[in-house]
Structure 1
Amino acid sequence: MRVGELAARTGVSVRALRYYEEQDLLSAERSPSGQRHYPESAVDRVQLIQQLYAAGLSSRTIAELLPCVIDGRATPALLKRLATEREHVDQRITDLLQARDRLDSVITAATGNMLTGMSCRREAGVHVQR
């Protein structure tokens, strides 16, 4: 498939796909006219790259880990690196859950204040009547 089709199927911009190639995260065959052609497996690979970026991994880290994640080729050092990255992902999940819980508390308090006529605005640390 050509780069535009891969972009459409994955929701990733053509520019991002070119960046993935520059970072050795993705490769394409070139036609005699220079057009990129990707195998069907590129769709899954791009989706995986997006997931790893969303988890906070850098392009360098993704490039180092992809052989293990895609092909199952792993050295003890690479497995250790995967475990470390997983711990970082777990910590980010914990942090996000705490942030969500905090937002839920604020929403609950604000909703209760609206029902009682209190404002969420604080002056000198005290709720102000509307």
Structure 2
Amino acid sequence: MRIGELSRRTGASIRSLRYYEEQGLLRPVRRPSGYREYSEGDVTVVARIRTLIAAGLNTALIAQVLHCFEGDSDTPVPTCAEMVEELSAARAAMASHISALEASCSLLDAIIEAAPEKSPAPDEGAGVPA
């Protein structure tokens, strides 16, 4: 199938599919005309890539672990022990970022609460004779 069909079947934009190829996540066969030719299996691979991106992984990590999945479900099943370590480290980094963002939100809440009440702006033209 060509890139437009893969895009329609997966919901991924053509631009995203080209990016996945640039990152080494997809390896379509090139026809003599230069067109990309994708297989049925690429539909599953794109779904898996999109799941991992939605889970917060970057494409560099996805490239390292993509070959370590099996199954066609929405939640891919890992098959490589080292991949679980990589995913655990990525999750720990995400949790750390979430904690930092929550602390920032709490600080902003405190600053907002401490701000004096703003007096209402006077109506334009009020008290000015015409």
Report what 2:9 is aligned to: 9
Report what 1:118 is aligned to: none
What letter is aligned with 2:44? D
Report what 1:39 is aligned to: 39
In structure 2, relative to structure 1, the CA distance for the partners of 1:88 and 1:30 (3 Å cut) is same
- Relative to total residues, which structure has the larger strand share, 1 or 2? 1
TM-score, normalisation: structure 2 = 0.62
Quote the Cα distance in structure 1 between the aligned partners of 2:5 and 2:61: 27
Structure 2 unmatched ranges of 5 or more: 72-77, 103-112, 118-130
Report what 1:82 is aligned to: 87
Count the aligned residue pairs: 107
Quote the Cα distance in structure 2 between the aligned partners of 1:15 and 1:79: 30
Report what 1:116 is aligned to: none
Quote the Cα distance in structure 2 between the aligned partners of 1:49 and 1:56: 11
Identity across the alignment (%): 42
- The superposition leaves residues 15-65 of structure 1 with CA deviations (integer Å, 9 ceiling, x where unpaired) of 110100000011101111111011101111111111111111101011111
**Equivalent residue runs for 1:23-34 within 5 Å:** 23-34=23-34
What letter is aligned with 2:65? L
Q: CA deviation at 1:6?
A: 0.2
Segment drifting more, 10-19 vs 78-87:
78-87
Give the CA RMSD over aligned residues.
3.4
Quote the Cα distance in structure 1 between the aligned partners of 2:49 and 2:16: 11
- The superposition leaves residues 54-108 of structure 1 with CA deviations (integer Å, 9 ceiling, x where unpaired) of 111101011111111249652x43331133335567x49x98xx9xxxxxxxxxx
What letter is aligned with 1:62? I
- Relative to total residues, which structure has the larger helix share, 1 or 2? 1
TM-score, normalisation: structure 1 = 0.62
**Equivalent residue runs for 1:99-114 within 5 Å:** none
Quote the Cα distance in structure 1 between the aligned partners of 2:44 and 2:29: 17
